[in-house]
Amino acid sequence: MTKDEIMVFGFEEIEKRRSEIVKELETADAETIEAINAELDVLEERKNALELEVEEKRKAAEAVALGAGKKIEERKDDKKMTNLEVRNTPEYVAAYAKYIKTGKDAECRALLTEAVDGGYVPVPEFVEEAIMTAWENDEIFSRVSKTFIPGNDKVGFEVSATGASIHVEGDDEPDEETLVLGIVDVVPDYIKKWITCSDKALAVGPRALLAYLYDEIEYQIIKLAADTAVAKILAAPTTSTTSAVGVPRVSGSVDPATILQAIGLLGGNARNRVFIASGTTIAAVRGAALLANYAFDPFFGLTVIQNDTVTDGAIVGDLAGIRANLPEGGAVRFIFDELSLAEKDLVKIVGKMLAGIEVVGPKMFAVISSESES
């Protein structure tokens, strides 16, 4: 990345690029490391320049507060702002950042012009957009079905049922249908991620602080939510019970034959079908197809999603068969601990999201596994 490109970065872009560099260092050779060091110097130069701008603006604001400048006539506007408009103001962004740090929302509520439903004040609009982007960018969590029910969410499903029959006039009446129903209890738990930051790192403007927290912590929480959905599918019983939806297994290595078998186990309600496996497994299937000169797609049109927590085999199905209940909404809640590591000038930040995630759709998934069925 060139210096000219970096010198127009904001704080958010600088932190994002630094995170990318950390990953690049894992496989970098000596020549690449030298180039990375040069780029880090430019990133530090840009950060210092931004901090200088922030300091100059702060001093100017203090000067105005002390009487510098010319007072202009205040504009009188009787129009009342909506909550959405309030959430876009610098004052609300600053108040929300203070609420995140202290847990006290009185200033946010005082700025809002309309009553707030529920126990939480709304996030600034740019944060809400970041939350939705995090959801939409995750290929797994964006596809699961979501509810926002306080407490546990109970989802009913059909375990088994006898079919209909033809009744010929004069014959005995057909047997009554035997219907077995089950209920999946979607119990929420907190998904958490915590980091420590220096006091200096947090001494940025409120907008930059909120952007950093939601970019850094929320990404990890959404990723774990997606990994949890995958784990629930893999851990499901092979047949349904009255308290759990079954996910049938296909034994064998992952190849076009077993993928086709897995597709055959899905019901007609599994419409938006995906194939979930590790990067190694996906590459192996594609490599085998190339070597065998397959004239067709070895995944049979399934949307291929990489998830490296699938260490054995693969998942085929429709992720709408997963229910994610988010009782506190989709926003991550933060707790700031400025005391336990105060002697090191560090602040512990805990991000958490309350979520219950379970398989709720029968015949929505099948698992391919080299392990024998239990």
Could you tell me the residue ranges of all domains in the chain?
A: 1-30, 80-122, 189-369
Torsion angle of alpha carbons 90, 92, 97, 99, nearest 10°?
160
Element (H, E) at 194: strand 189-198
CB 179 within 8 A of CB 161: yes
Give, in degrees to the nearest 5, the angle at Cα 211 between 356 and 189: 15
d(CA 216, CA 306): 21
Strands 145-147 and 322-325, bridge-based pairing = parallel
d(CA 367, CA 249): 5
- Helices (H) and strands (E) counted in the chain, each on its own, are 12, 12
CB 195 within 8 A of CB 218: no
What's the pTM value of the predicted model, to 2 decimals? Answer: 0.62
End-to-end CA distance of the chain: 52
pLDDT in tens, 148-162: 888 888 888 777 655
pLDDT in tens, 277-325: 999 999 999 988 888 777 788 999 999 999 999 999 999 999 999 999 9
Between 119 and 7, name the one with better pLDDT.
Answer: 7
Question: In the predicted model, is pLDDT for residue 136 greater than 80?
Answer: no
